[in-house]
Structure 1
Amino acid sequence: MTPLVIRTLDESSAHLFDTMPDPLAFRDKHRHTRYRADWRRIALRDGRTVARAAWWGPPEDPEPLLINWFDVAEGEEEAGAALLRTAPWQTRELELDLPSGWRADPRLRTAADLRADAAGAAGYTPLVERFLYRWTPDRGLPERPGRLVFAPEPDDAVFFDLLRRIHSVTLDAHARRAAERGGPEMAAQQELDFLHWLPSPRAWWQIARTPEGETVGVHVPARNPSGPCVGFIGVVPGQRGHGYAYDLLAECTHFLAAQDAEFIAAATDQTNFPMAAHFTTAGYPVVRERLNFRADPVVSGG
């Protein structure tokens, strides 16, 4: 077999990234994503691009946060794995955002499995599958149940304590993984760090209480680099079983709509059946499905 040539792109060669077929419609998914040219790499064989990957992160960061575009030509799984293994950056996660219902379409399933196999050969293992949602104003605002009182909370220590309680018992795979490594404190700190990383105002974070003053949970209307989003929804363990997560989601949606949001992005683990049901009730359609892979120790920079 002809030797593989792996190269990192620059502004003059960035166009080479677009020379592969796009069966999973990544181009449409990432039409508003801004990538640095030098955080994109391709693998060539006989001058033909057989694998490509794009690493993403804020442009001011010295290194990318994750891989969220990964394509491999049929029969070139090892080329795709080599492309990831030899990258000069270590990233903890790889995401594949797939068309909704991809498993029911043999063509899409084959393409997804090919990329998952290549990621696995590079040392990435499956973490969780997620639903990706997108609310738009034509869906209508969800009804507010009116059971809770919402107020901002400027004290990070209060938020940290609530996040710690929420993540002490959770269905979220990322939080469970963090808790396994460092307890609910680590899960809470990672969540807090993420929320601070978002470019939206800290003043948007809110705590929900009953009219009697009992704390129920938190919701964080937010903006990520791509636009408005549900930053976080969480109910403390002692208040679960009453459907309060829907109340939080409805309030979050109303809050962002009042900020003239033209859409609101959101996501939840597919195994989090209660939250998925709340998104459906609140008028959030599934627009994509995400496969999250985590990096094992064998993944290293080259």
Structure 2
Amino acid sequence: MFDEFPEPARSQLAAAFDEGRTRPEWAFTQGQARVAFWAPFRDAEPVVVWQFEPGPDPGAASALLRRSLQTMGLSKIIHDISLQPGLTPVVDRAVEHQALVGAGFAMEVERLLLEWQAGSDVPEDPGRLSYRPARRLPTADVLDVLVRISQGSLDYDTQVELATAGAEHEARWMYDDLVNRKGKPDWFVVGYLGDSPVGLVAPDDHSIAYIGVVPEHRGHGYVNDLLARGTRTLAEAGVQRVVAATDVANTPTAAAFLRAGYSEVGRLFRYYWRAP
């Protein structure tokens, strides 16, 4: 089925298959429309509509999406449209937007796309925290930090998962995702003030995949410490471009990235589909 996708999608699908993140039976075509689904790590359920090429007819693309979702037996899925600042899917990706809406998707959250480039100032680590690699800690300890970070989170996805699946399920899924990310094992760290966990930061090979502070330590700027640690880790590894994303409504986290020398480079519009 991958052979029906043009380059570069075919090669990207083949690479994802080798990593256990997609399968030929997760790829569908109908006329000029094509869609494939993607999972964040091996043996995980698909969570993203990936490589969606709607073609010129939104109605045909909607039909393909509906058929593929029914065949996959999914209960929920997301699809992201990334655009430069000032653009909107309704106008600038109209066929894709119409196809998604016609298949029952709804655009529910807008996110900032952020980028730090090599040559920019590397944020200084204030030195207030000590760091321990998450993979060397008991899994239960890291899960506890993730559960606590989710409390009062301004992140929309986290809020949805807490309301539908619960904090423990969300933490377990997040832990599995982060420990399966590309990057050196010691990059994903928990920050401590003495023996008290403050939060964590998880860089992968090109991005700040996750960052968060536990409720009792919020309001003291520790997100700046964690972000400095994550950015410096990647800068010292020679990464030329570090990317990140956060909800537009999550103004404290967005401000922390801007303080650390990141620039807004676009907007991500996240669409959700849930089974009736």
Range class of TM-score, shorter chain? 0.7 to 0.9
| Structure with larger Rg | 1
Q: Using the alignment, how far apart are the partners of 1:60 and 1:150 within structure 2?
A: 28
Per-residue deviation at 1:103?
Answer: 3.3
CA gap 1:258/1:120 in 2 versus in 1, 3 angstroms: same
2:220 matched to 1:242? yes
2:101 matched to 1:94? no
Instruction: Choose from 64, 68, 90 the match for 2:50.
Output: 68
Q: Using the alignment, how far apart are the partners of 1:291 and 1:81 within structure 2?
A: 18
Alpha carbons 1:97, 1:291 under 8 Å: kept: yes
Q: Using the alignment, how far apart are the partners of 2:41 and 2:171 within structure 1?
A: 26
Per-residue deviation at 1:201?
Answer: 4.1
Where does structure 2 lack aligned partners over 5 or more consecutive residues? 15-22
Per-residue deviation at 1:233?
Answer: 0.7
CA gap 1:79/1:111 in 2 versus in 1, 3 angstroms: farther
Per-residue deviation at 1:61?
Answer: 5.6
CA gap 1:102/1:69 in 2 versus in 1, 3 angstroms: farther
- Amino acid across the alignment from 1:231: A
Count of residue correspondences:
262
Q: Using the alignment, how far apart are the partners of 1:69 and 1:274 within structure 2?
A: 32
1:148-196 CA distances to partner (integer Å, 9 max, x unpaired)? 2223242211110111111121111111111112322122112112112
> What corresponds to 1:282 in structure 2?
260
> What corresponds to 1:43 in structure 2?
30
CA gap 1:188/1:14 in 2 versus in 1, 3 angstroms: closer
1:1-302 mapped onto 2 (5 Å cutoff): 9-11=1-3, 13-15=4-6, 34-36=12-14, 38=24, 40-44=27-31, 49=32, 51-57=33-39, 64-72=46-54, 76-87=57-68, 88-90=71-73, 92-103=76-87, 109-153=90-134, 154-210=137-193, 212-223=194-205, 228-298=206-276
Q: Which sits farther off after the overlay, 126-135 or 188-197?
A: 126-135
Ranges of 4+ aligned residues in structure 1 off by more than 6 Å: none
> What corresponds to 1:6 in structure 2?
none
Q: Using the alignment, how far apart are the partners of 2:201 and 2:2 within structure 1?
A: 40
Alpha carbons 1:200, 1:222 under 8 Å: kept: yes
Q: Using the alignment, how far apart are the partners of 2:132 and 2:39 within structure 1?
A: 32
TM-score (norm 1): 0.75
Q: Using the alignment, how far apart are the partners of 1:163 and 1:218 within structure 2?
A: 8
Alpha carbons 1:68, 1:97 under 8 Å: kept: no
CA gap 1:10/1:55 in 2 versus in 1, 3 angstroms: same
Per-residue deviation at 1:230?
Answer: 1.0
1:37-72 CA distances to partner (integer Å, 9 max, x unpaired)? 94554432xxxx3x3334334796697542134344
Q: Using the alignment, how far apart are the partners of 1:96 and 1:111 within structure 2?
A: 14
1:106-140 CA distances to partner (integer Å, 9 max, x unpaired)? xx641334422321221222332212223221222
Alpha carbons 1:95, 1:290 under 8 Å: kept: no
CA gap 1:126/1:99 in 2 versus in 1, 3 angstroms: closer
- Amino acid across the alignment from 2:49: I
Cα RMSD between the aligned structures? 2.8
